[in-house]
Structure 1
């Protein structure tokens, strides 16, 4: 049994995790621990506060006791707003506190894009333009070429926004984000429930689609030295790893 641990703020997209656990088969367990959140705001200062080491590591003991083999900070924006180096320090602090391999969704996107051979990516994000551009900057720092960025405003628990993000709106964002030169389309934000829609999105766009909770689980498997073939989770879970020169 491989146990994957995730530190997750809020509750919007958490149903993706039991869905992925089911699709991954009976020998992978997904454990989700919720971290503290003061305000559900997609503003840079609030996002930086969300990802402080004190907040992230508060749930580590529960994951350690659960027997997790690896842990991922499942909050895309709470990672990349610190920049590449700051996000790296964030992950190092998490690994030290957890005593196990650690990463974050932000790095998972960069690693997953390289895994599927997608050096050019398009971004469709439920963020404000300034936050979406910070994600694009993070990807560029990781060696990716960002062909286009489509910002669709913040996804929050407040108001009607949380209930509006069904298949139709997610597909609309993916279409708007896509670019002819992009090898893949990236849809960040772990609050966005996307896992049920990935096969249809890839069929619609004719290329791989990477989403936040999908890549977070793939990253935890990577850290645990596991590969699982799960076609219903998209191209990322069906392709053979690229041979590194």
Structure 2
């Protein structure tokens, strides 16, 4: 049994995790601890506070008691708003606090795109435009080319959590571009686990979503690979051969 740990702020789309655990169909356990969201606002200052070391530290003991082997900060915006260097420091602090390999959803997107061998990506963000722009900057710092960013201007995670399949599909379609090799939907408050097949069929290209890449990142940290086509192209490809 491989036990993966996740720190998830508040309550929005956490039910994606037991769904993904079931879809993995393997000896994988996903342990999720809720952290204090503080102010639920897609605003830079609130997002930085949401991912502070103090808030992350409060959830670490629960993961240790659960027997988690790795930990991922399951909040995209609570990572990239610190910038590339700041997000790296956040992950280093989390690893030190938890005493286990650590990462975050923001880095998971970059690692997942590299895994798929894609460089040009389109972004469909629920966030306001300024926050969406910071995510695009983060991806560029990770070596990706952002072909365009679509912002929905949603102010809170709670509202994003109410979105249904047609809303997610509309965002992905609006964000897509002919020169994009993949479409990224960066919000762990967005329910996407049940829609990955539909999204990739509709766009005819890989779609990377926040909770999907977060779980994949946990598996990567644990040096595990699971073939689960229902979770999209990211869970079906063989490892790339590095030159």
TM-score band w.r.t. shorter chain? over 0.9
| CA displacement, residues 47-96 of structure 1 (integer Å, 9 cap, x when unaligned) | 00101111112111110111111000000000000000000000000000
Quick one: distance in 1 between partners of 2:232 and 2:22? 15
In structure 1, runs of 5+ residues without a counterpart are: none
Specify the alignment match of 1:154 in structure 2: 154
Correspondence for 2:193 among 185, 195, 199: 195
User: Within the alignment, does 1:132 sit opposite 2:132 as a pair?
Assistant: yes
User: Within the alignment, does 1:106 sit opposite 2:106 as a pair?
Assistant: yes
| CA displacement, residues 15-46 of structure 1 (integer Å, 9 cap, x when unaligned) | 10000000112410000000012211000000
User: Within the alignment, does 1:179 sit opposite 2:177 as a pair?
Assistant: yes
Quick one: distance in 2 between partners of 1:79 and 1:93? 12
Quick one: distance in 2 between partners of 1:238 and 1:161? 28
Quick one: distance in 1 between partners of 2:100 and 2:240? 25
| Per-residue deviation, 1:222 | 0.2
The question of whether the paired residues in 2 share the 8 Å contact of 1:24 and 1:228 is answered with yes
Specify the alignment match of 2:211 in structure 1: 213
Q: Cα distance 1:170–1:94, how it changes in 2: closer, same or farther (>3 A)?
A: same
In structure 2, runs of 5+ residues without a counterpart are: none
Give runs of aligned pairs for residues 26-105 of structure 1, distance below 5 A: 26-105=26-105
| CA displacement, residues 167-194 of structure 1 (integer Å, 9 cap, x when unaligned) | 1111110001001111100000100000
Specify the alignment match of 1:115 in structure 2: 115
Q: What is the aligned length?
A: 243
The question of whether the paired residues in 2 share the 8 Å contact of 1:155 and 1:191 is answered with no
Specify the alignment match of 1:2 in structure 2: 2
RMSD: 1.0
| Per-residue deviation, 1:157 | 5.0
| CA displacement, residues 90-123 of structure 1 (integer Å, 9 cap, x when unaligned) | 0000000111000000000000000001100000
| Per-residue deviation, 1:156 | 2.5
| Per-residue deviation, 1:244 | 1.0
Q: Cα distance 1:161–1:7, how it changes in 2: closer, same or farther (>3 A)?
A: closer
Quick one: distance in 1 between partners of 2:56 and 2:154? 22
Q: Cα distance 1:101–1:162, how it changes in 2: closer, same or farther (>3 A)?
A: closer
The question of whether the paired residues in 2 share the 8 Å contact of 1:125 and 1:132 is answered with yes
Q: Cα distance 1:180–1:157, how it changes in 2: closer, same or farther (>3 A)?
A: closer
Q: Scaled by the length of structure 1, what TM-score is found?
A: 0.97
Q: Scaled by the length of structure 2, what TM-score is found?
A: 0.98
The question of whether the paired residues in 2 share the 8 Å contact of 1:10 and 1:191 is answered with no
